Amino acid sequence: MKTIDEAKLIDIVGEKNIKTDPSDLYIYGSDSSVHHAMPWAIVKPETTEQVQGIMKYANKNKIPVIARGGGSGMCGQTVPVKGGIMLDMKGMNKILEINLEDVYCRVESGVVDDDLNLALKQYGVFYPPTPASSRIATIGGEIANNASGVRSVKYGATRDAVLGMKVVLPNGDLVSLGAHTRVEASGYQLHKLMIGSEGTLGIVVEATLSFVPIPEFRCMGVANFDTLKDAGEAIGSIMASGANPSMLELVDDVAIKAVNKTMDLGLKEVAAALIFEADGMVKEAVDYEIDKMTKVCEKHNGNDIYSSYDPKERAKIFLGRKKLFPALSKYDENLASTALADDMAVPYSKMAEMAGKIHEIADKNNIVMTAYGHCGSGCMHTKILMDTKRKDQWASAKKAITQVYEYVRSVNGTTSAEHGIGLSKAESFKIEKSDSLNLLATIKKAIDPNNILNPGKLAQAPEDWVTATNLRYSVNN
């Protein structure tokens, strides 16, 4: 372990903003992934100048720096594989400006997504990318992972909502990227380069974000299917029909069974269900979309199709999806629900096949996998349920993941839809992007010549994620 000059850090951020006790370091060594590694110090800056000071110090001494928002990343993005300083950005949590005239807001990067949306709500507007983890995810973490959510099928991902940002570079320089206007054609879109860079190119300290009006009408529907294939084909047809859903979610039979097994929601045990939603300012327009989606579902043998504008009914329809995580955690007391092979995107026409493939691969490898996700935007999620104490289950999971992503790439899909790469998806990422890895390395080197920002991630991550770090589970030999 490299020594850190604590006095120097105290000079920059003050004593109250540093922690170095092993019990604190241990906590900050994990996120929502399967990985764990120890940082050397936690620093919680409160100002841009403090971030600049830390970066200058770290760059001079070649100490790794890992930015951390809510620590809700699922692929080990914030796990400090090479040690270093963990920069807890939650100390920079001010909403700086809500500009209704020019339709943007400015926030520090540690602002929590839900908090921003609460502040915007009173003006009848919202910031749409919102991942399911919005109650803890920070704007900085969402930018770095290019997060998206259930409504991204209509409103886009983080990439589409960020107009500009202020970024501290590894050498401590502060740069303003992008603009405050909706359009910008001035040279390289460097702010977009930061989106999805997983904290490897710069520390985002401020972001300028666009927002949209909260729709007057929302209608949600559900359709059951006797085969996963029918449900998958319905997704493709809905998107190809020109319908404009504000949500289109798939849940498979494993997910439905898990929910039924652990709580009394009385969901019908079918092979798959689609939850769809449309929203808008005019009811007739929403009716039109719902009608269109209902008809497509019917065409693909959807049954028990039902939709409602009533908020209570909508909440009921969505409850099964919402309760999925606790249900999976309680599915079988010997199995833990792990964030592995957690997301991917495939073309609409391959949705059905993809979901089937996930089940086939799980069976072959003796683990349980479930398929669900924001399928309207091509995004598929899985969870691997396995006995994390058994070493052989980790080997099986690894094999299954390799096979899942082989399929994804074979149908022109991509390794991550929204959760990012971090450590656990690096294997497939590197194969998928093999012809641009040199370019990625060149960009990284130009911006971060000492390789101090979140080293060992993305293209730098080892292929074998199982041995990349300690696992955060107890594994018997």
Partner 1 sequence: MKNKTKEFKNLEKWQGTLANCIRCGYCFEHCPMFHHTGWESDAPRAKIITAFGLLSGEIEPSESAANKMFSCFYCKRCEAACSSGVPLTEIFTDAKKDLLEMGLEGPGTTSITQLSCARCLICLSACPHEARSYVEGKGITTDPAKCQACGICLEVCPAGAAKIENDFGTNKEVLIEKANDFLDTHESSKAIVFACNWSYYPELQASVLPDSETKDNDYEILVNMCGGRLEPHLLMAPFLHNAWGVLVACCPDDECQHNGNLRAKKIVENLHNTFKQIDVDPERIQLVQIPAGDKTLFQAEIDTFVDKLNSMGPIR
Note the residues at the interface with ligand FAD (CB under 6 A): 31-32, 66-74, 77-78, 89, 109, 131-133, 137-138, 140-142, 144-145, 147-149, 198-199, 203-204, 418-419, 454
> Which of the listed partners (partner 1, ligand FAD, none) does 67 bind, with a CB threshold of 5 to 8 Å by partner kind?
ligand FAD
> Which of the listed partners (partner 1, ligand FAD, none) does 297 bind, with a CB threshold of 5 to 8 Å by partner kind?
none
Q: Which two tokens stand for residue 313?
A: 């009914």
> Which of the listed partners (ligand FAD, partner 1, none) does 419 bind, with a CB threshold of 5 to 8 Å by partner kind?
ligand FAD
Site for partner 1 in 149-208 (CB under 8 A): none
Q: Which lies closer to partner 1 via its Cβ, residue 99 or residue 410?
A: 99
Report, in Å, the least distance between residue 26 CB and ligand FAD.
17
Site for partner 1 in 12-51 (CB under 8 A): 19, 21-24, 26-28, 30-33, 42, 44
Question: Binding partner 1 by CB under 8 A: which of 39, 64, 90, 424?
Answer: 90
**311-322 and 253-262 helices cross at what angle (nearest 10)?**
100
User: Residue count at the site for partner 1 (CB under 8 A)?
Assistant: 56
> Which of the listed partners (partner 1, ligand FAD, none) does 24 bind, with a CB threshold of 5 to 8 Å by partner kind?
partner 1
DSSP 3-state assignment of 368? strand
Kindly write down the DSSP assignment for every residue of 372-417, as one continuous string: EE-GGGTEEEEEEEE-TTBHHHHHHHHHHHHHHHHHHHHTT-BS-S
Told to check if 381 binds partner 1 by CB under 8 A, we report no
Q: Which lies closer to ligand FAD via its Cβ, residue 145 or residue 424?
A: 145
DSSP 3-state assignment of 162? strand
Q: Which lies closer to partner 1 via its Cβ, residue 27 or residue 439?
A: 27
User: In this structure, are residues 57 and 43 in contact, taking their beta carbons and an 8 Å threshold?
Assistant: no
Instruction: Report the Cα–Cα distance between both ends of the chain, in Å, rounded.
Output: 27
> Which of the listed partners (ligand FAD, partner 1, none) does 120 bind, with a CB threshold of 5 to 8 Å by partner kind?
none
> Which of the listed partners (ligand FAD, partner 1, none) does 352 bind, with a CB threshold of 5 to 8 Å by partner kind?
none
Instruction: Say how many C-beta atoms besides its own lie within 10 A of residue 431's C-beta.
Output: 15
Instruction: Say how many C-beta atoms besides its own lie within 10 A of residue 39's C-beta.
Output: 28
Told to check if 257 binds partner 1 by CB under 8 A, we report no
User: In this structure, are residues 33 and 79 in contact, taking their beta carbons and an 8 Å threshold?
Assistant: yes
DSSP letter at 61 equals: T
> Which of the listed partners (partner 1, ligand FAD, none) does 174 bind, with a CB threshold of 5 to 8 Å by partner kind?
none
Question: Binding partner 1 by CB under 8 A: which of 50, 237, 388, 403?
Answer: 388
Q: Indicate the Cα dihedral angle 468, 418, 370, 340, nearest 10°.
A: 0
Binding mask 320-359 for partner 1 (x = CB under 8 A): -----xx--xx--xx-xx-x--------------------
Kindly write down the DSSP assignment for every residue of 307-333, as one continuous string: EE--HHHHHHHHHHHHTHHHHHHHS-T
Told to check if 114 binds partner 1 by CB under 8 A, we report yes
Question: Please, what sign has the CA dihedral across residues 145, 151, 152, 157?
Answer: negative
With b for 16 or more beta-carbon neighbours within 10 A and e for fewer, the 141-154 pattern comes to: bbbbbbbbbbbbbb
Q: Which lies closer to ligand FAD via its Cβ, residue 170 or residue 302?
A: 170
CA distances from 390 to 33, 335, 396, 476 (A): 18, 10, 10, 6
Place of tokens 């669900």: 372
Binding mask 398-427 for partner 1 (x = CB under 8 A): ------------------------------
Point out which residues bind partner 1 (CB under 8 A).
19, 21-24, 26-28, 30-33, 42, 44, 70-72, 88, 90-91, 93-98, 107, 110-112, 114-116, 118-119, 133, 135-136, 325-326, 329-330, 333-334, 336-337, 339, 388-389, 470-476
